[in-house]
Amino acid sequence: MARTLDSPGVLVVDFGGQYAHLIARRIRELGVYSEIVAATSLDALGEALSRAAGVVLSGGPGSVWESRHDEAAAMVLQLGKPVLGICYGHQLLAKVLGGEVGRSPLPEFGPTEVEVLDHGILLNGLPSRFKVWMSHYDAVLRPPREAKVLARTPGSPVAAMELWGRVFGVQWHPEVRHSQYGREVLDNWLSLVGAPRTWRPGDMLSELVESVKKEVGDALAVAAVSGGVDSTVAALIAKKAIGGRLHPVFIDHGLHPEGEVERVVKLLSRLGLEPVMVDAGEEFLAALEGVGDPEEKRRVVGRVYAEVLERAARDIGAEYLVQGTIYPDVIESGARPGADTIKTHHNVGGLPKDLRLKLVEPLRYFYKDEVRLLAEKLGLPRELIWKQPVPGPGLAVRVEGPITREKLRIVRRADAIVREEVDAAGLGGKLWQYFAVLTASMATGVRGDSRSYGYVVAVRAVESVDAMTAKPAELPWWLLERIARRITSEIPEVVRVVYDITSKPPSTIEWE
């Protein structure tokens, strides 16, 4: 959905980092319209800069010493408008203004305590110490000559800086939920920008409907529905746009969690999205036979998924494919210039380049919590809105290594036990995701005074808001013990259960 800065707002210059769109969305949450332009196109950047009231330089996966973006930073600084550099953008500002950037004495990933040296404008009203979210190897070691150092951490001697009362940089990510006072940092900077606070990010339903109506025209479309909130909202938007010319398609790929297919069919029927049911489990399992690499699994699932959808669309006579792709899928698949591929999502990087259907992705630049706002406006039931996400490739990415029927049976049952126990404990609504993974590890166990040798299952439960960052949930010890006892008792092939306590980053939420 294309937009322009029709009224003064904030431009986010995208250097290929994971969080560029998250920065823009946080700014929108504060009432200021924001949009994004890729740093790879200097012409587009120059045109967009002329309409911006303030500019944010985003993070990025590279090093500022690769000298790819010096010209873009110089263009921004020449404007004389308020500038905020974040992570890579902070380092880039320091470099082009004469500071020293190099390998951090202590690379920082995840929660890090910041010590405030001078509150200045940016940190006004904040305490002298607070926790932020870091993700960096390089750091600003020495500030530019005219810069005032606002904060530091053990790994970032210049964790925040200010120049001339209008140029600022922070090494941490104020846009992620796990950074304390991130909203206040952005709010302080926006007060300096002075752009009108008239943006309402939730009021976009009618615009999305009109966008799909214009894109599809009088043609027929299929909608890939999975029963999750993303694909359901996308399908309902498309149904509002083109009515009976939309044909929802549900593909049973044989990789769903226990009871998922029955639940989805019942739910979609309640919502008036009677899907065309396609049983393709044998086709997916045959294609995945012997495939152990997680990226290849996703590509295989994406390829077969597209082939099955194309056959269904051909039978219907549809030209368009409506998908519930959301922005975390896009950025983790490296689907933007300069972005790094973290993992291919079956519905983005996994789709073949020769796909004959024209893609319609109304939620492509939305995050999960924004999709949930749209779902509420559509009147969807709470159990759907807050249903935990299930990866598109299903259990294919919850089995490490090659998939077999036995492994699918084991992980499906282990996953069901995790969900049953977490829900019974009343914790399901407080967590983003909770599931089991069948690892590639084997371990020695004891059963009936005899040695046994079997699988290791990992349990994962995380808290998140938008899937861009996540922290491990502190599940009660008694609950973890009960889950482990049930899994090892009810699934004789499993002898050991472990709990994953890694945050995102450095990990991802799913294991593969």
| Domain assignment present for 508 | no
* CA neighbor of 458 nearest in space, from 386, 381, 392, 397: 397
> What confidence tens digit (pLDDT) does each residue in 143-183 have?
999 999 999 999 999 999 999 999 999 999 999 888 999 99
Residues 362 and 472 in one domain: no
Question: Among the options 69, 173, 247, 253, which is catalytic?
Answer: 173
Q: Closest Cα partner for 435 from 372, 510, 336? A: 510
Q: What is the mean pLDDT of residues 131-136?
A: 90
DSSP state of 61: S
Assigned domain for 57 exists: yes
Residue 154 has a pLDDT of: 93
Residue that has been written with the tokens 């590279």 in this structure: 62
What is the rounded (10 degree) CA torsion for 73, 132, 431, 29? -50
| Domain shared by 347 and 435, yes or no | no
Give the pLDDT band (50/70/90) at residue 502.
very high
pLDDT above 60: residue 339: no
Say yes or no: 298 and 436 in one domain: no
Same-domain check for residues 155 and 224: no
- Which residue among the candidates 175, 258, 361, 510 is catalytic per the annotation? 175
Q: For strand 129-142 and strand 100-116, is the pairing parallel, antiparallel, or unpaired?
A: antiparallel
One-letter-per-residue 3-state SS of 155-169: CEEEEEEEECCCEEE
Choose the catalytic residue: 21, 35, 87, 247: 87
Mark whether 182 and 274 lie in a shared domain: no
Q: In 3D, which of 350, 438, 406, 393 has the Cα closest to residue 255?
A: 393
Of 193, 222, 248, the residue that ends a domain is: 193
Task: Give me the percent of the chain exceeding a pLDDT of 70.
Answer: 92
DSSP alpha helix (H) spans, 378-404: 382-385
- The pLDDT, as a whole number, for residue 8 is 64
What's the half-sphere exposure (Cβ side, CA atoms, 13 Å) at 60?
A: 28
In a domain, 512, yes or no: no
Give the pLDDT confidence score for residue 381 in this predicted structure.
Answer: 92
Q: Is 69 annotated in the active site?
A: no
Closest by Cα among 80, 76, 82 to 54: 82
Do 30 and 153 belong together in one domain? Answer: yes
Stretch among 324-338, 351-365, 447-461 having the lowest mean pLDDT: 324-338
**Residues forming a β-bridge with 360:** 322
Q: Is residue 389 part of a domain?
A: no
Q: Provide the 3-class DSSP secondary structure of residue 249.
A: strand
In a domain, 77, yes or no: yes
- In this structure, is residue 199 part of a structural domain? no
Residues 159 and 294 in one domain: no
Q: Are 153 and 237 members of one domain? A: no
Proportion of the chain above pLDDT 90, given as a percent? 62
Domain assignment present for residue 315? The answer is: yes
List the CATH number of the domain containing 290: 3.40.50.620
Active site residue 87: yes
173 given a catalytic annotation:
yes
Domain contains 143: yes
Q: How many domains does the chain contain in total? A: 3
Range of the domain at 473: 399-499
φ, ψ for residue 61, nearest 5 deg: -80, -10
- Rounded alpha-carbon distances, angstroms, from residue 71 to 36, 182, 194, 243, 508: 18, 28, 26, 48, 33
Arithmetic mean of pLDDT, 184-213: 88
Has residue 429 got a pLDDT over 50?
Answer: yes
Contact 313, 223 (CB under 8 A): no
Q: Is the same domain home to 13 and 150?
A: yes
